[in-house]
Amino acid sequence: MKRLFPAITLILVMLLTLPALAQEGGPNMPTDDEVNAIAKGLYCPVCENIPLDVCGTQACAQWRELIREKLSQGWSEGQIKQYFADQYGDRVLATPPARGLNWLVYLVPPLLIAAGVYILFRALRAWQRPVAPAMPDGSLAEGQDEYVLRVEEELRKRP
Amino acid sequence: MDDVQTTNMEADPNPTSRSRPHWGRAIVWVGLLVLLGILALGLRRTQQGPITIGDRVTGITLTTFEGEQINVDGLQGKVVVLNFWASWCKPCEQEAADLESAWRKYQPGGDVVFLGVDYVDTEPEALAYLEKFSITYPNGPDLGTRISQKFRIQGVPETYILDQEGVLRFVQIGPFTTLGQITSAIDPLLNED
């Protein structure tokens, strides 16, 4: 009986732990959260505008299983996303890769914002500037626009 | 007017200092024009319609699941049946057996080529689908969805039939319902010689 005790204990422990392992899908099987963390950054072309982690179609379910399979094989998030981009095109990525014409997405908005801020800054400064008359000796008073003065002078000269 | 110009010339003792803002403006305008040009090109590309009946189909290469590359340009002289499908697509299953039957009918003659383009699918499920329906004609994934984008497919299944000159002659949106429907689309093209 003493010899059987360790064997019985081992069997009992295995019986108790196996259901838990099966529920998790095995020790190396990625969890749904891990799969969805990557799926969140992918879009299936069949169901446009619905992120893969919340898409309910069979196609998307297959994609999520593919992510799970790649994760269990030790692939990184970057490798998996690159695989999907190679297989199905860049349009499946939530964030377009910074190459080719995609650069415009990253460059144009900041440039437009910077240009807008500059124009606004110039406009505000122009509004704040007091309109000063020309000095008697012909020199410019502070804040006076030389170009505007010259235009006005030329206009005065016109018959 | 000359007087105005002369006055301007005289009033500008340092012309290089005044030319700087002009350069800045020129760069901004050139940048804007380049941006508009790129946008126009992009819009033109998106506005380009799909391949329609009567258009010559070129530049399509299918890499099969076995790794063989089939270039449609090299299939001139043969009628090409290009079928878009997916393992997750239930309507595709309706026509799978009929497409395989049609392929087996035309295969001995060698005048018709069937190509299956697997759209937005996963390989294990796709291979299981091919095995389930005993499909023997070449099939491969639509890598980068390049082929489907060229045809601007609306979904699967869709079938495009090209004549011996590589010109699109028949489009089937949705599944074929009978074998006769498939053969009636192919036979007139074979009889054109």
SS3 readout for A44-98: CHHHCCCECCCCCCHHHHHHHHHHHHHHHCCCCHHHHHHHHHHHHCHHHECCCCC
Phi-psi region of A158 (alpha: psi -120 to 50; beta: other; left: phi over 0): beta
Interface of A with B in 13-72 (CB under 8 A): 44-46, 57-59, 62-63, 65-66
Q: How far apart are CA A64 and CA A72, in angstroms?
A: 12
Determine phi and psi for B119, rounding to 5 degrees.
-95, 125
Asked if residue A90 and residue A107 are part of one domain, the reply reads no
Tell me how many domains chain A contains: 2
Same domain? A148 vs A76: no
Q: Which of B11, B42, B125 sits opposite A150 (nearest CB)?
A: B11
A118, A69: one domain: no
Residue A81 has pLDDT above 70, yes or no: yes
Residues A87 and A126 reside in one and the same domain: no
B73 secondary structure, DSSP code: G
A44 and A80 together in one domain = yes
Judge if A148 and A75 occupy the same domain: no
Residues A22 and A89 in one domain: yes
The strand order across the sheet containing B112-118 reads B139-141, B112-118, B79-85, B158-162, B168-173
Q: Which domain holds residue A34?
A: 4-97
Examine the pLDDT at B10 and tell me if it is beyond 70.
Answer: no
Residue A133, pLDDT > 70, answer no
Chain B interface test: which of A47, A48, A50, A58 (most B C-beta within 10 Å) = A58
Verify that A34 and A105 share a domain, yes or no: no
B15, pLDDT greater than 60: no
So what's the pLDDT on residue B157? 97
Domain C-terminal end among A77, A97, A117: A97
Cα A25 from Cα A64, distance rounded (Å): 15
Q: Out of A82, A97, A112, pick the residue that ends a domain.
A: A97
Shared-domain flag, residues A49 and A74: yes
Alpha-carbon distance values, A128 to A146, B101, B131, B170 (Å): 17, 82, 78, 70
Q: What is the CATH number of the domain that holds A19?
A: 1.10.8.640
Q: Which long-range contacts (C-beta less than 8 Å, at least 24 apart) are formed by B29-36?
A: B35/A104, B35/A108
Class of the domain covering B61-190: alpha beta
* pTM, rounded to two decimals: 0.70
Which one of B11, B121, B144 has the shortest CB-CB distance to A89?
A: B144
C-beta neighbour count of B61 within 10 angstroms: 14
Tokens 């299983």: give the residue. A65
Question: A93 and A75 share a domain?
Answer: yes
Identity of the residue in B28, B38, B120 whose CB atom sits nearest the CB atom of A45: B120
- Mean pLDDT on B103-123: 96
Sign of CA dihedral B113, B116, B117, B123: negative
A89 and A24 assigned to the same domain: yes
pLDDT in tens, A7-62: 666 566 555 554 444 444 556 789 999 999 999 999 988 888 899 999 999 999 99
Reported as a pLDDT band with limits 50, 70 and 90, residue A85 is very high
Q: How far is A9 from chain B (nearest CA, A)?
A: 41
Assign residue B60 a region (left: φ > 0; alpha: ψ between -120 and 50; beta: otherwise): beta
